[in-house]
Amino acid sequence: MLAIIMAIEDEQERNKIEEVYNRYYSTMLYIAKDILRDEGLAEDAVSESFIKIINNVEKIREVNCYQTRGFIVVLVRNVSIDMLRSSKKPQILSFDDVKEPVKNNDPIFESVSAKDACEKIIDCISRMSNINYADILYLKISYKYSTKEISELLNITPDNVKVRLNRARKALIEQMQKEEAYNAR
């Protein structure tokens, strides 16, 4: 993997990828091992994830932030799940076992400014029970990925991305309404 990183010509991009590698490699490997239950396959999943990160390095603004960490967790989780699905050994996997808890203790602001609204939405997404919907919304809202880019990252068809986005938006609205009703008590 380090040989691939060293082959990147742009020094700034290479430094960013090296920082991502140093900061998140162990987390990525932990997530992949937890899903695949095999160290060799987990390393393959991490390598495949890093190739996707390298291809999308321009989307990473800051390496040490919750958005980048979330992006990396979503990416390695989906690559690992795809590898698990394509393996010949049938294994039962619960999404509850795969989902890494999001540690976000930001208060929900009462202000209606765009930034505060976005933070509230991202926070609400992190608490959604359907992980597929949360991943799609996270990639669309936080990273502003196109439908085509999301389909390539998650290895699903663009039509499937559109369907999931539509369902995810509805689920997000329901989640926000439930939380608003709960907070109003």
pLDDT truncated to tens, each residue of the chain (185 aa)? 656 666 677 788 888 888 998 999 999 999 999 889 899 999 999 999 988 988 888 888 899 888 888 889 889 999 998 888 887 544 444 444 444 444 444 343 333 455 566 667 777 777 777 777 888 888 887 778 889 988 888 888 999 999 999 998 888 888 888 877 777 76
CB 100 within 8 A of CB 72: no
- N- to C-terminal Cα separation, the chain: 52
Q: Give the span between the Cα atoms of 70 and 93, in whole angstroms.
A: 21
Sequence ranges of the domains in the chain: 1-100, 104-185
pTM of the predicted protein model: 0.59
Give domain 104-185's CATH architecture. Answer: Orthogonal Bundle (1.10)
**Lookup: tokens for 47:** 């390598």
Q: Give the span between the Cα atoms of 71 and 76, in whole angstroms.
A: 9
CATH of domain 1-100: 1.10.1740.10
**Lookup: tokens for 14:** 């290479």
